[in-house]
Structure 1
Amino acid sequence: MDTVRDIMNKKVITVDRDKTALDAAKIMTQYEIGSLVVVSNGKPVGIVTERDLVRKVCTIDTISNKIPLAEIMSSPVISADPDLPIETAVQRMFNNKIRRLVILDNDKLVGIVTASDLAKYVRTRSLLDKMFR
């Protein structure tokens, strides 16, 4: 049975909880990504997405370099163990209405699984099934 370890992205970009919305936006732009895991003392405490920036920063009349990430991040982090079956991870994401699942191994950040990762996995499995029928 395939697990999230098989499809997770092991290169997770993080941002410190003490940074601002502007800092997060700059990092996302630099790495061309749509989310950052927010950490405090190296431990994941939240996640901030492009959607958070649009809905919680851009839609109000404020200055992004004055908004702490702690005010806009989603918290607590919804996470999973790397050995969790993919089907269970999908259900967890669906139940929590999230598009990104942080992967922790003994409370250490080791990866992230996104809805796009899951779509690629399903597409690949479907193609392989068709090839070997």
Structure 2
Amino acid sequence: MNDRVQDIMTKKVISIDEGIMANEAAKIMTEKRISSLIVERENVPIGIITEKDFVKKICTKDLVSSKIKVGTIMSKIQTYASPDTQVEVAVQRMVNHKIRRLPILSEGKVVGIITVTDLARQLRTILLVDGILSEENEV
């Protein structure tokens, strides 16, 4: 498998400024039906905020989301990949850093994201194609 990250990444990524309040970020995620947002400082990606961050860092502490900036509860970007990175390399980075989402950057800008859902979709496609090819070989 020689697939590149650009072949399977989600290209529509929404970024927000680190100064936005958590409740506004939650509204964006709800409206767009997404589970994460890239957090930026002066248009440079510095973190990611996920549904898990809201639960662990706001709900379990009984905090008021309208008083908390996303920059204080985001997870810092630990690693990233470029669009031409091989999928296997991207997966290894995700495993090594124990993350479920990997930002894809080109020239310092976010151009996509790979999630475990994207990887599962890709694996399903590979398994289906392999199954079809093996059935054709049996005929």
TM bucket, shorter chain: over 0.9
Matches of 2:124 and 2:30, distance apart in 1: 28
Q: Is the 8 A contact 2:78 2:97 kept in 1?
A: no
2:81 counterpart residue number:
80
Aligned equivalent of 2:17: 16
3-state DSSP of counterpart to 1:118? helix
Q: TM-score, normalised on structure 1?
A: 0.96
Matches within 5 A, 1:122-133: 122-133=123-134
Residues paired across the two proteins, number: 133
Q: Report deviation, 1:39.
A: 1.1
Q: Does residue 71 in structure 1 map to residue 72 in structure 2?
A: yes
Larger Rg: 2
Where in structure 2 are there 5+ consecutive unaligned residues?
135-139
CA-to-aligned-CA distance 1:2-38 (integer Å, 9 cap, x gap): 0100001111011111101111111100101100000
Q: In structure 2, how many angstroms separate the alpha carbons of the residues matched to 1:20 and 1:102?
A: 22
Shift of 1:76: 3.1
What is the CA-CA distance between 1:77 and the residue it aligns to? 4.5
1:47–1:77 Cα contact (<8 Å) kept:
no
Indicate yes or no: 2:93 matched with 1:92.
yes
When the two structures are superposed, what TM-score results if normalisation uses the length of structure 2? Answer: 0.92
The residue aligned with 1:117 is 118
- Whether the 8 Å CA contact 2:39–2:45 is kept in 1: the answer is yes
Give the share of equivalent positions with the same residue, in percent.
Answer: 50
Instruction: Report what 1:25 is aligned to.
Output: 26
Q: Distance in 2 between matches of 1:92 and 1:7?
A: 16
Cα deviation code 1:54-91 (max 9, x no counterpart): 11001112211111111110013421111111011111
Q: Distance in 2 between matches of 1:62 and 1:122?
A: 39
4+ residue runs of structure 1 moved beyond 2 angstroms? none
User: Mind listing any 5+ residue stretches in structure 1 that lack a counterpart?
Assistant: none
Name the structure 1 match of 2:45.
Answer: 44
